[in-house]
Amino acid sequence: MREASEIDVIDGGDSGCGELLMRMRMQVREYHDGSLIRVVTADPGARDDIPIWCRMLGHEFDAGLFTMMVDRHSSSLSAIAQGIPLQERRSKHLAQLLISVTHSNDDADKATVGFVVANAAVASDQDTTVFLSCEGARLAQQVTIDGIHEDGFAPLTELVANFVEGGGHLLVCSPCATKRGISEADIIDGAQIVGGARVVELLAGGATGLTY
């Protein structure tokens, strides 16, 4: 654990949504309780995301430290600063989430957004499972995710790796994989081929489902 200076800064750069929240989650673990962190990012969605993230994780959000800086040369939002006094306590909003991703190269936008939301969920300490089915089963292969990088988003390879490293569960539909010639030897580390019963078990246990 490290002591923060008066206000330490996390530079989110152009990172947005789940990618930004995951970066924050990893970095704030390095600080002691009571540290004050300022996050600077070019993502306009952070105006909503960061206060919500603080509430879910039990950090205190100081609205008085919220500022926006506008780049006069581009007339666009260039930075958002948030003050986050850190407190290490378990979220009171722990939920079980099931995010189904049914696309890969056939709709790279949906495939990417599915993992962006999954990253945001894991970064908020929610119990999150991604279920790859239909064409989405191909996302269990490194060669497929290596080839997907939608404009405005982090590469899918990075999003998937961050999701698994952050504690997310990655399941692959067994018949969907078989239909596409994908075996256990072909899938990335952290992925698991399962039958429909696993998904039914999650839903029956109260998981909230979302499909892309």
* CATH for 159: 3.40.1260.10
User: Which pLDDT value is given to residue 1?
Assistant: 59
Domain count, the chain: 2
32, 82, 6, 92: which is closest to 57 by C-alpha? 92
Residue 64 is predicted with a pLDDT of: 63
The domain in which residue 67 lies consists of: 8-85
Residues 172 and 121 in one domain: yes
Q: Examine the domain organization and report whether 119 and 204 are in the same domain.
A: yes
CA dist 74 and 118 (Å) reads 32
Q: What is the pLDDT of residues 149-193, one digit of tens each?
A: 999 899 999 999 999 999 999 999 999 999 999 999 999 999 999
Same domain assignment for residues 176 and 141: yes
Please say which residue of 19, 53, 85 terminates a domain: 85
Residue 161 in any domain: the answer is yes
Query: Is the same domain home to 102 and 202?
Result: yes
Q: Are 149 and 195 in contact (CB under 8 A)?
A: no
pLDDT, position 50: 83
pLDDT of residue 75: 42
What is the reported pLDDT for 57? 82
Residue 90 in any domain: the answer is no
Last residue of a domain, one of 25, 60, 85: 85
- Name beta bridge partners: 24: none
Judge if 14 and 47 occupy the same domain: yes
139 is a domain residue: yes
- Of 85, 120, 138, the residue at which a domain comes to its end is 85
**Per-residue model confidence (pLDDT) at position 60:** 81
Residues 114 and 141 in one domain: yes
- Residue 92 DSSP label: T
Same domain membership, residue 161 and residue 75: no
> Do 55 and 36 sit in the same domain of this protein?
yes
The tokens for 98 are 């099931």
Question: Residue ranges of the chain with pLDDT lower than 50?
Answer: 69-77
- The secondary structure of 71-88 as a DSSP string is ETTTTEEEEEEEEEE---
State the CATH number of the domain containing residue 14.
3.30.110.40
Look-up of token digits 């205190």:
60
Pair 29, 128 in one domain:
no
Check residue 3 and give its pLDDT.
58
pLDDT at position 19:
84
